[in-house]
Chain A
Amino acid sequence: MSAIEADCLVVGGGIMGCALAYWLTGAGRGVVLIERDELNGGASGGNAGSLHVQMLSHFARLEAPRDAADAERPLRLHVAAVAEWQALRSALGEDLELHLEGGLMVAETAGEQRVLESKVVREARHGVVVDLLEGAAARAFAPYLGSTVRCVARCATEGRLNPCLATPAIARAAIARGARLLRATALHSLERDGTGFLARTGAGAIRAGSVINAAGPWAGEVAAMLGVALPVTRRPLQMSVSEATAPFLAHLVQHAGRRLTLKQATSGNVLIGGGWPGRLDQAGHAQLARQSIEGNLATACRVVPQMAHLNLLRVWTAFITRVPDGNPVLGETPGMPGFFQALAIPNGYTLGPLCARLVAEAVCGRSTSFDLSPWSPGRFAAAASHFH
């Protein structure tokens, strides 16, 4: 069987991979995408579709100067990423259940309030507009909040969309532009082949001029096939969803001190997440942890008391992709020309389309709309040698 030829081989069929296929075919490149399981079947389909702009609370609580710099660096990217989603929605001509009704980060304690106060100042320096509402003003804006909430940080451009609609819509658009999306196609090996690459896959051999690693939680394993060390780890996080109910929760709700995200989908179901961990069994499969279900729901009920009389319908896990500095990993790999990394961290779904476009620009040799150097895949090698 002769090899499939392509300009670009995209590894991974989540939001990053599908958006890469969309942008690269838009730039005239021939694209083959391989996905081991189902398109949108990992964290892209399993996440709740929050559109984040505010600094995540676990970032906001870090105080060491280098950590603070890491936390602030992706802020502008988030502002642009939400605009990118809006533009993409128009370009696709599909609804995607995208709504930007604003987001709130709540504080229940004085310490959490101080975190918010400091966060707002830091965000302002990076062009993120967030204001603070206290007590009665917070409840006037968000009547569903419980009595323990003393202060909220409000960001008008936060919101949500439905990943179960958005990724397939992008995938369809990529296919319409000529991309080949091969599902249930595993990557067995990846090697240099002249100036390009040879991939052995479940669909046979694929030769490509460049390879873009959009494998998310498994990006480290893909990079290792070419001898590239990426410090990518994965962790199963839990999501819960309630039965559908009449609209009452217009905003994306987060917490300054606890793991919590809360939002109501267009279907009326309330999605509850925020990073409570699942467990791994001996085979590396994710398992649900009872304590994480209970704890996540308890925080949700305290912040939004109405949650208590909704029924829990389903709980699941999805793997989140992590690197040590919590920042994106974008662009060409130093020492391995033609091998690009595309990891939208820390909010993969929010950042996906924008980060995919930036990497696509880099693949095409164009100047990118953001300076990608802070997010170079090479930064970890430098950090590692510095460390040693």
Chain B
Amino acid sequence: MLSEVQSRDAHFASMRVRGAFTASAAPVAFTCDGAAIEGLAGETLAASLIAAGRTMFHPDGTAAARGLFCGMGVCRECLVSVDSEPNVRACMTTLEAGMRVETRPPARPVTSRATLRDDPVETPDVLVVGAGPAGLCAALAAARAGARVCLLDERSSLGGQYFKQLATSHRFAARPDRQFRDGLALIEAVRAAGVTCHSNATVWAAFPGLELAALVQRRRVLFQPRRLVLATGAFERGVPMPGWTLPGCMTTGAAQTLIRANQVAPGQRVVVAGNGPLNWQLSAELLAAGVEVAAVVEAAERFSLAGPAALARRLAADPLRTFEGARLAARLRSRLAFGSVLVELHGQDRVAAVTLARIAASGRPLPGSERRIEADAVCVGYGFIASSELARALSCRHEIGAPGTGLRAVRDADGRSSVPEVFIAGDGAGMGGAAAALAEGEIAGAAAAADLGYAARAGADSLLAARAALARQRRFQGALWTLFRAPPLTLQLARDDTAVCRCENVTLATLRRALAAGELDVGGLKRQTRAGMGRCQGRYCGALLNEVIGGGPADELALFAPRPPARPVPIGLVAREQAEE
């Protein structure tokens, strides 16, 4: 027993990294499945549990465990109960002293304390949903022009995924890095401009006529804005591979939230895999925090930043990022495996090792090229899917993106959607990166305010600058993804028994059997197999079902229909007595 305690303590120490410029609060006690544990008040519950070596969740009460996967409230695999309240997302909940956490659904759940007063109706000039780079800039631009602006975000602090703030379990003991500094400055500017900011605010549905139903700190609020800016960001797309449901396998974003915001390592020996620079940034951050990174597996073939002159000129559109990229590449050189993918994650209860292999242009692994690496955590990032559920609910028109990448909003140069009162900015419209999102947000926020007669006072120059910055960023992003060009991976890594739908455990073989028995569209495939009916609401498999059917989707109607709620919400909080006709 003692040795177990000692090893737990050693583990505790080893999972918590010593940040270069942070200091942590004193530990507090809580319990998990009856065992006493210490964590840091203010960090996410997911961080506390992983730091304590508790990496397994049982969201549906079965023996099969899941781990922290998306780390941003989307996959709902880290559901726990807290003080008998079920369905609490560990990744979105802040640890408080004395919490009683269970990793299975409670035997006797308690009802959420709903306030059943009449809904307040808020009518801001401009409502901004999402407080990442795009949303913050949109709110700031609209407020500076004179509009009454309200900004909502689902997380407990503003900043979104890119400007994720340091958890309140930690404080800066020295000057933080640029990403933290820029985020803090932007958030302060937004507050100073008089924007009404609500964190812990979930917009659960949008209805035609520009009505948005939200839970703000678990209180129901109805928003009827005159203009809406959707800056809902994106989530990592799913690329099914054998073992990808094992605890220890998480998205790159989840790992980055752990390490940046909570100063907890995703594992003791980590493999990072996927496609694109975010994986490299995470790898460097892990290394800087003293975490062992066993390999950085990159689907793109080896490239040189010095490449062709035309490409170099386009990269020069953002010299700072290009310089940072070159430094990253140098830092990771010995660990980088180009033109390669993970083909299997091994382990019983959690990840213990991975197999990587080289891939052909088709995205299929090349037999004979496999290599096995021991690792207790795997971070996977193959790009993103825009969170388009609210825009689609409002009938904003979308186009089909590349295979497996969901939808892109149709917008004009101001970010105005096909519904004139609705603007869409940032990655929620289709991927453009954080720097583009900053500019798009500013442009959309100013345009939304201008619609209402609020002319940007100091705005003309700033707006010109934003448009120029956006053009530069699009050139840079184009060049960047030319370098990182890789075979579009969807189902090439899945085997027959690989779950394509994580929530309902629907395997590739099950999907193919259903199709063999009769032609089906995605709706039919969903109804027959339950793929996409689970708690992530089809986010991770929805875009893949068209690939299983073959040929890819023709238009947005060929995807799952947009249906509320935009996020699962407690029935007791949205229920409200209504008269029948």
A residues with CB within 8 A of B: 38-41, 45, 164-165, 168, 171-172, 175, 181, 183, 242-246, 258-259, 267-269, 276-277, 281, 287-295, 297-298, 300-301, 305-316
**Is the pair A309, B575 in contact by a Cβ cutoff of 8 Å?**
no
Q: Does B111 contact A (CB under 8 A)?
A: yes
| CB nearest to B61 among chain A residues | A246
Q: Which residue of the partner chain A has the closest CB to B211?
A: A290
Residues of A within 8 A of B517 (CB): 168, 172
| Docked CA distance A127–B485 (Å) | 71
Q: Are A308 and B578 in contact, with the CB atoms below 8 A?
A: no
> Are the CB atoms of B581 and A277 closer together than 8 Å?
yes
B 545-581 contacts with A by CB, 8 A: 561, 563-565, 568-572, 574-581
For window 519-539 of B, CB contacts with A under 8 Å fall at 519-521, 523-524, 527-528, 530, 533-535, 537
Query: How far is the CB of B171 from the nearest CB of chain A, in Å?
Result: 34
Say whether B114 contacts A308, CB under 8 Å.
yes
**Contact A307 B580, beta carbon cutoff 8 Å:** no
CA distance A308 to B561 in the complex (A): 26
Once the chains bind, are A295 and B518 in contact (CB under 8 Å)?
no
Q: At the interface, yes or no: B110 with Cβ under 8 Å from chain A?
A: yes
**Residues A243 and B87 in contact, CB atoms below 8 Å apart:** yes
Contact check, B568 vs A290: say whether CB atoms are below 8 A apart: no
Q: A311-B87, A315-B565 are in contact. Are A306 and B578 (CB under 8 A)?
A: no
Chain A residues, Cβ within 8 Å of B85: 309
Contact A312 B578 (CB under 8 A): no
A295 touches B577 (CB 8 A): yes
Q: Whose C-beta in chain B lies nearest to the C-beta of A298? A: B575
| Distance of B353 from chain A, by nearest CB (Å) | 32
CA distance A282 to B537 in the complex (A): 28
B574, A294: Cβ atoms closer than 8 Å: yes
B290 at the interface (CB under 8 A from A): no
Pick from B204, B527, B580: contact of A40, CB below 8 A.
B527
A-B contact pairs, 28 of them (CB 8 A): A38-B521, A41-B521, A41-B524, A45-B523, A164-B530, A168-B517, A242-B571, A243-B568, A246-B61, A287-B208, A288-B205, A290-B205, A291-B578, A293-B205, A294-B576, A295-B580, A297-B571, A297-B576, A298-B575, A307-B571, A308-B571, A309-B86, A309-B112, A311-B569, A313-B565, A314-B564, A315-B563, A315-B564
Contact mask B82-102 → A, CB, 8 Å, 1/0?
Answer: 000111000000000000000
- Contacts beyond the supplied A164-B528, A298-B577: 17 A-B pairs with Cβ under 8 Å: A38-B521, A41-B523, A175-B518, A244-B60, A244-B535, A258-B580, A290-B211, A293-B205, A294-B574, A295-B576, A295-B580, A298-B575, A309-B109, A310-B571, A312-B569, A314-B537, A316-B561
Query: Do A39 and B60 touch across chains, with their CB atoms under 8 A apart?
Result: no
Q: Does B356 contact A (CB under 8 A)?
A: no
Q: Chain A nearest CB: distance from B386 CB in Å? A: 20
CA distance A216 to B114 in the complex (A): 40
Is B213 an interface position by the 8 A CB rule?
Answer: yes
Chain B residue contacts of A292, Cβ below 8 A: 578
Does B105 count as interface, using CB distance less than 8 angstroms? yes
Q: A301–B570 contact, CB under 8 A?
A: no
Q: Are B527 and A45 in contact (CB under 8 A)?
A: yes
The residues of A that contact B520 with a CB separation of less than 8 Å are 38
Closest Cβ neighbor of B207 among chain A residues: A290
Contact B565 A245 (CB under 8 A): no
Q: Is the CB of A316 within 8 A of B105?
A: no
B524 to chain A, nearest CB (A): 5
Taking a contact as CB atoms under 8 Å apart, the answer to whether B564 and A294 are in contact is no
**In the complex, are the beta carbons of B523 and A38 less than 8 A apart?**
yes
- Looking at A172, A245, A313, A315, the one whose CB has the most chain B CB atoms below 10 A away is A313
Give the top 10 A-B pairs by smallest Cβ distance, nearest first: A308-B572, A295-B578, A297-B575, A311-B568, A294-B576, A164-B527, A298-B575, A38-B524, A308-B111, A291-B578
In the complex the two chains form, is B207's CB within 8 Å of A288's CB?
yes
Which B residues are in CB contact (< 8 Å) with A268? Answer: 60
Q: Is the CB of B571 within 8 A of A294?
A: no
Would you call B537 and A300 a contact (CB within 8 A)? no
Contact B519 A311 (CB under 8 A): no
Per the bound structure, the CA–CA distance linking A116 and B172 in Å amounts to: 67
Size category, B interface: 35 or more
- The reply to whether B87 and A172 form a contact with Cβ atoms under 8 Å apart is no
Residue numbers in A under 8 Å from B519 (CB-CB): 183
User: Which residues of A lie under 8 Å from residue B534 when comparing CB positions?
Assistant: 244
Is B105 in contact with A300, judged by CB distance below 8 angstroms?
no
A41 to B527, CA, bound (A): 9
Residues of B within 8 A of A288 (CB): 205, 207, 563-564
Bitwise interface map of B from 55 to 70 toward A, beta carbon under 8 Å scored 1, else 0: 0000011000000000
Are B578 and A298 interface neighbours, CB within 8 A? yes
Task: List A contacts of B581 (CB < 8 A).
Answer: 277
Write the B200-226 contact mask toward A (1 if CB under 8 angstroms, else 0): 000011011001010000000000000
Closest chain B residue to A45, Cβ basis: B527
Cross-chain contact A310 with B570 (CB below 8 angstroms): yes
Knowing A297-B575, A316-B561 are in contact, say whether A243-B535 is a contact too (CB < 8 A).
yes
Give bound CA distance, A111 to B386, whole Å: 51
Whole-angstrom distance between the Cβ of B566 and the nearest chain A Cβ = 11
The closest CB in chain A to the CB of B576 belongs to A294
Cα separation A341 to B213 with both chains bound (whole Å): 43
A171 touches which one: B211, B518, B521, B575 (CB < 8 A)? B518
Determine whether the beta carbon of A168 is less than 8 Å from that of B518: yes
Chain B residues contacting A312 (CB-CB under 8 Å) are 204, 565, 568-571, 574
Mark B108-122 against chain A: 1 for CB-CB distance below 8 A, else 0.
011110100000000
In the bound complex, CA of A259 to CA of B578 (Å)? 11
B265 shortest CB reach to chain A, Å: 31
Q: Which residues of chain B come closer than 8 Å to A314, judged between CB atoms?
A: 533, 537, 563-565
Minimum distance in angstroms from B106 CB to a CB of chain A: 9
Contact B580 A259 (CB under 8 A): yes
A276 to chain B, nearest CB (A): 8
| Chain B residue nearest in CB terms to A258 | B580
Interface residues of B in 491-545 (CB under 8 A from A): 504, 517-521, 523-524, 527-528, 530, 533-535, 537
Which chain B residues lie closer than 8 Å to A291 at the CB level?
578
Q: In the complex, how many angstroms separate the beta carbon of B571 from the nearest chain A beta carbon? A: 5
Closest to B521 in A: A38
Shortest distance from the beta carbon of B64 to any chain A beta carbon, whole Å = 14
Q: Are A316 and B563 neighbours in the complex by a CB distance under 8 Å?
A: yes
C-alpha gap A242/B86 in the complex (Å): 13
Contacts of A243 in B (CB 8 A): 87, 535, 568
Please determine whether A246 and B105 come into contact, CB atoms closer than 8 angstroms. yes
What is the chain B residue whose CB lies nearest that of A307? B571
What separation, in Å, do the CA atoms of A39 and B521 have in the docked complex? 10
Of chain A, the residue at the smallest CB distance from B110 is A309
- How many angstroms from the CA of A316 to the CA of B60 in the assembled complex? 24
Residues of A with C-beta under 8 A to B568 = 243, 311-313
Q: How far is the CB of B75 from chain A (nearest CB, A)?
A: 13
Are B575 and A294 in contact, with the CB atoms below 8 A? yes
Residues of B within 8 A of A244 (CB): 60, 534-535
Task: Give the chain B neighbours of A269 by CB distance below 8 A.
Answer: 533
Q: A267-B530, A311-B569 are in contact. Are A298 and B87 (CB under 8 A)?
A: no
Task: Report the Cα distance A294→B577, complex, angstroms.
Answer: 7
Known: A40-B527, A164-B528. A311 touches B570 (CB 8 A): yes
Using Cβ atoms and an 8 Å threshold, which residues of chain A touch B569?
311-312
What is the chain B residue whose CB lies nearest that of A270? Answer: B571
Enumerate chain B residues within 8 angstroms of A45, measured Cβ to Cβ: 523-524, 527
Which of B564, B578, B581: most chain A CB closer than 10 A?
B578
State the CA gap A312–B566 with chains docked (Å).
10
**Chain A contacts for B518, CB-based, 8 A:** 39, 168, 171-172, 175, 181
Cα–Cα, bound, A310→B523 (Å): 25
* Chain A minimum-CB-distance residue to B514: A168
Collect the chain A residues with CB atoms within 8 Å of residue B204's CB: 312
Residue of B nearest to A279 (CB): B208
| A277 proximity list for chain B (CB < 8 A) | 581
Q: How far is the CB of A333 from chain B (nearest CB, A)?
A: 31
Of B533, B565, B572, B580, which is within 8 A of A309 by CB?
B572
Closest Cβ–Cβ distance, residue A272 to chain B (whole Å) = 8
